[in-house]
Chain A
Amino acid sequence: MRAVITVIGRDAVGILAKVSGICAEAHANVTEVTQSVLQDMFAMIMLVDISSLTVDFSELQDRLTGLGNSLGLQIHTMHEDIFNTMHSI
């Protein structure tokens, strides 16, 4: 089971570190990351394995949303199924 974490907002030092820190704490294994900075806008898509989480998936979502709020970033954490179902036949 995997989840997709997307982070969008103004670039700053340590965004990737903070997001992956929260993932590590919850035992979510980061499997893929794509990231770009266009002008000063930061956009990251991260794929994490959530099959051996030590907390509930909703708890991980809350922590990441909380981080987003404190950094002024939009962080969405969604189960990968929604993307797979919508975009493949």
Chain B
Amino acid sequence: MINAYDILETIRMIQDECLDIRTITMGISLLDCIGPDTERACEKVYDKITRCAGKLVRTGEEIEKEYGIPIINKRISVTPISMISASSDGDPVRFAKTMDRAAKECGVNLIGGYSALVQKGFSAGDKAFIDSIPEALASTERVCSSVNIGSTKTGINMDAVKIMGRIVREAAEKTVDDRCFGAAKLVVFCNAVDDNPFMAGAFHGVGEPDCIINVGVSGPGVVRSALTKYPDADINLLADIIKKTAYKITRVGQLVGVRASEKLGVPFGIVDLSLAPTPAVGDSVAYILEEMGLEKCGCAGTTACLAMLNDAVKKGGVMACSRIGGLSGAFIPVSEDAGMIEAARSGSLLIEKLEAMTAVCSVGLDMIVIPGDTPAEVISGIIADEAAIGMVNSKTTAVRVIPAIGHEVGDELDWGGLFGKGPVMSVNPYSPKKFINRGGQIPAPLHSLKN
């Protein structure tokens, strides 16, 4: 018989420690929907998405019930729309509206892929597409957008960095009545990955199969709870405990992914070995770091604790699943993590520290609310810094900041649900304007003489 202790442990993890599958994301290629007539192309996009993902939500719910494990989100990612809209006449926003309609028809809460890849330059239509992002986010409910502006192999496209500072602001301005939510659905990447199941940055890469299932796991609450049992253990033991826990969490992701793939008749892609927090109490990455011995997340020692956590999660997860991908690592979205929110409110966690933390974990400056009067070039500067960390360290980094239009430091934006709430955090007031206005390309870094 299965060990009774193991059975009760699994049930406790699910019931009390918020163990869940964060997302099953279906990646769908839209390359076969390209055409000169926007209306016809949109029809094909709608048909393809609803045909492939029509049963996604129901299948997810069936698996949830079968194994008794909550699957929080069922989502869709599609081929970057800039590639689809480039050959069509007319307004790219129509594709966003089509995606939104298809997402609603399928019953998914978010759909990603209103995206452009401009790390080395703009192809035809890319600039017009990027300019359409704020309108696309304001006029749809479930569409998420991302733009890749740099990579380790190409360097950083500083013209795109400049544009994206303005676009992030516009996305917030256009949705000011909705607590600037547009900016929360927009991610600026360096080294974006093709198989990311997590929103808002998910898109379906061009090298991917026609349709695929990717899974993102979660479980900060389980890791923290495992660590509380060893208050005086040394770091080696903590790393071992995290590895074992991550193994168990990831196994469930693998099981759910394989089952979803069987039931939907779609190949199984990857498991994203992630620790993704939610605003629910007890589901926080910051609390894990505090459990390791920090008085408050953000204090000295935070980067070291996070580096160890991130590495142990990957080591534990690697053996638990057949294929790994996505963003794999611990996430630190401020507004989506009860402990991060608390640390930011108390003044312990600052943007500068978060930036350092992103050098050792997945993914970047995520869900950070900044003052509404932050100029576009400062946002561009933040993007450039973050992209530089990703470029030099050969890792994915991203920026998802939300300029809280009409608010200043001390105020708070509250979106509710999984997006949570965040205090407005202060930003260095000095300007990088001249640097940002130079434009051009930061050359790709050297891959030897590492120091």
B-binding residues in A (CB < 8 A): 4, 6, 32, 34, 45, 47, 57-58, 61, 76-87, 89
Contacts and interface: CB of A to CB of B under 8 A. Distances in A.
A80 B251 contact: no
B7 A83 contact: yes
B263 to A, nearest CB: 13
B449 interface: no
Given A6-B11, A78-B68, A45 B4 contact: yes
27 contacts: A4-B7, A6-B8, A6-B11, A32-B1, A34-B4, A45-B4, A47-B1, A76-B68, A78-B10, A78-B66, A78-B67, A79-B66, A79-B68, A80-B2, A82-B68, A82-B252, A83-B2, A83-B6, A83-B7, A85-B252, A85-B254, A85-B255, A86-B248, A87-B2, A87-B3, A87-B248, A89-B319
A57 B8 CA distance: 21
A82 B251 CA distance: 8
A10 to B, nearest CB: 17
B62 interface: yes
B66 A57 contact: yes
Given A58-B65, A61-B65, A76-B68, A81 B255 contact: yes
Interface in B50-102: 62, 65-69
A55 B62 CA distance: 15
A82 B65 contact: no
Contacts of B69: 82
Residue of B7, B9, B65 most packed against chain A (CB within 10 A): B7
Contacts of A32: 1
Contacts of B9: 87
Contacts of A58: 62, 65-66
Where chain B touches its partner, the secondary structure class is: helix
Contacts of B255: 81-82, 85
Interface in B1-29: 1-4, 6-11
Interface of B: 1-4, 6-11, 62, 65-69, 248, 251-252, 254-255, 319
Given A32-B1, A87-B248, A45 B7 contact: yes
Given A81-B255, A86-B6, 16 more contacts: A34-B1, A34-B4, A45-B4, A45-B7, A45-B8, A47-B1, A76-B11, A78-B66, A79-B66, A82-B10, A83-B2, A83-B6, A85-B251, A85-B254, A86-B248, A87-B2
- List the 5 closest A-B pairs by CB distance, nearest first: A78-B68, A87-B6, A82-B67, A85-B255, A85-B251
Contacts of A61: 65
Nearest to B61: A58
Contacts of A81: 67, 255
A4 B2 contact: yes
A14 to B, nearest CB: 22
A2 B62 CA distance: 17
Nearest to B9: A87
A44 B38 CA distance: 61
B70 to A, nearest CB: 12
Contacts of B66: 57-58, 78-79
Contacts of A57: 66
A86 B1 contact: no
B337 to A, nearest CB: 25
Nearest to B68: A78
Nearest to A57: B66
A39 to B, nearest CB: 17
Contacts of B248: 86-87
B67 A79 contact: yes
A77 to B, nearest CB: 7
Contacts of A86: 6, 10, 248, 251-252
A57 B1 CA distance: 21
A80 B3 CA distance: 11
Contacts of A77: 68
B318 to A, nearest CB: 13
A76 B11 CA distance: 8
A47 B1 CA distance: 8
Residue of A4, A58, A80 most packed against chain B (CB within 10 A): A4
A4 B68 CA distance: 11
Contacts of A4: 2, 7
A45 to B, nearest CB: 5
